[in-house]
Amino acid sequence: MTASKVSIERAQALLQAGGLVAFPTETVYGLGVRADDEASVSRLYRVKGRPSRNPLIIHIHDKAQAEALAVWTPLAARLAETFWQGPLTLVLQRKADTKAIVDNACGGLGTVALRMPSHPQAQALLRGCSFVVAAPSANRSSHLSTTDARDVERELGDSIDGVVDGGTTPLGLESTIIDAQGSVPRVLRWGSLSPADLEGRVGGVAWEDACSSVSGGGVLQASGMMARHYAPRTRMRLNAMSFDDNEAVLLYGKRCPAGGRVRLNLSAQGDLKEAAANFYRMLHELDKTGCDSIAVMPIVNEGLGVALNDRLQRGSWRGKLGGHRNVDG
């Protein structure tokens, strides 16, 4: 069975009652829960199979909400002015006196991750709630994110209470997460905002790339930092330039080698925005083919390609000895 499709109004009522509801954003689908209810947040962690130390992203609809929840810095104000509403998550010190967010929604940390989505259905949902909504991606922990309501239903079934169907999300990659507690923006996860976006639109600010992989019981500052994450069920083989007969193949660009059983091209034109929009949808399709493995062609490591390659590296992680399996074969 799968979760039922619900209206915005029904979704708000379900959230009010402590339910779990998936909804679209401009990046990927989120799995929403009221952030002020410890039992509901704990259920979300159980349903996703998510480590309890992995903080959730809090979704807000205006800056006043953000300022009520976190200690606002000049850097945060500058980034929010430039990129909100949009695919940016800011990590800030959580205000100690707020009752709107329970400790387990923040992974037990003294910080909070805030995002203001631009998707009209997400905005309508959030504006109609009298509480703050926490929403990680709508998928099982470490699995592929979802960019289509059908993939949400396949991934989570009837373990959640409803899905707001907004079709396919336009950007296709998660938000970029920046620690804005100090004077220098520390990028904890690259996403739909690329290095070029920061360099081109936040002039005079030198950002620090603080992305890393955390395994075992290490501290997770933000979503998307697990060593194994964003992974299909089928084994992936990266930087492939030849393909076996029973492989599903993820292509990129005009000049693609022959071979493979099932072939999908992220962007025949080599357009990274198109590739990002297609990324999870195509991986979901290839993951359902029953092929022995998914072979992925090289993707240029610039612009949005930085985030795409991060997802591929984490999705192909095979443990301590092998590290990232970023090899042909």
Question: What's the CATH number where 186 sits?
Answer: 3.90.870.10
In a domain, 223, yes or no: no
pLDDT at 324: 36
- Mean pLDDT, all residues of the chain: 91
In a domain, 323, yes or no: no
Could you tell me if 180 and 291 lie in one domain?
no
In a domain, 214, yes or no: no
Q: Are 196 and 187 in contact (CB under 8 A)?
A: no
CB-based contacts of 218: which residues, under 8 Å, 6+ apart? none
Could you tell me if 15 and 160 lie in one domain?
yes
In a domain, 324, yes or no: no
pLDDT at 321: 32
Confidence of residue 320 (pLDDT cuts 50, 70, 90): very low
In a domain, 329, yes or no: no
Mean pLDDT value across residues 153-175: 96
pLDDT at 326: 40
Confidence of residue 32 (pLDDT cuts 50, 70, 90): very high
Q: Are 116 and 84 in contact (CB under 8 A)?
A: yes
Mean pLDDT value across residues 69-88: 96
In the predicted structure, residue 329 carries a pLDDT above the cut 50 = no
Confidence of residue 265 (pLDDT cuts 50, 70, 90): very high
Range with lowest mean pLDDT among 93-97, 133-137, 205-209, 234-238:
205-209
Mean pLDDT value across residues 184-191: 93
In a domain, 216, yes or no: no
In a domain, 175, yes or no: yes
Q: Is the pLDDT higher at 250 or at 2?
A: 250
Confidence of residue 219 (pLDDT cuts 50, 70, 90): low
Could you tell me if 12 and 151 lie in one domain?
yes
- Final residue of a domain: which of 209, 244, 266? 209
Mean pLDDT value across residues 61-84: 95
Confidence of residue 242 (pLDDT cuts 50, 70, 90): very high
- Final residue of a domain: which of 209, 225, 244? 209
Range(s) of the domain holding residue 249: 236-315
pLDDT at 322: 35
Could you tell me if 196 and 243 lie in one domain?
no
Quote the percentage of the chain above a pLDDT of 90.
80
In a domain, 221, yes or no: no
Q: Are 212 and 225 in contact (CB under 8 A)?
A: yes
**Number of Cβ within a 10 Å radius of residue 130:** 9
Q: Is the pLDDT higher at 49 or at 325?
A: 49
Q: Which of 145, 188, 121 is nearest to 277 (CA)?
A: 145
pLDDT at 323: 36
pLDDT at 199: 84
Domain count, the chain: 2
CA distance 215 to 202: 32
**Number of Cβ within a 10 Å radius of residue 13:** 16
N-terminal to C-terminal alpha carbon distance within the chain = 38
In the predicted structure, residue 195 carries a pLDDT above the cut 80 = yes
Residue 214 burial by Cβ neighbours in a 10 Å radius (0-12, 13-18, 19+): middle
In the predicted structure, residue 278 carries a pLDDT above the cut 50 = yes
Could you tell me if 181 and 240 lie in one domain?
no
Mean pLDDT value across residues 59-69: 95
What pTM value is reported for the model? 0.92
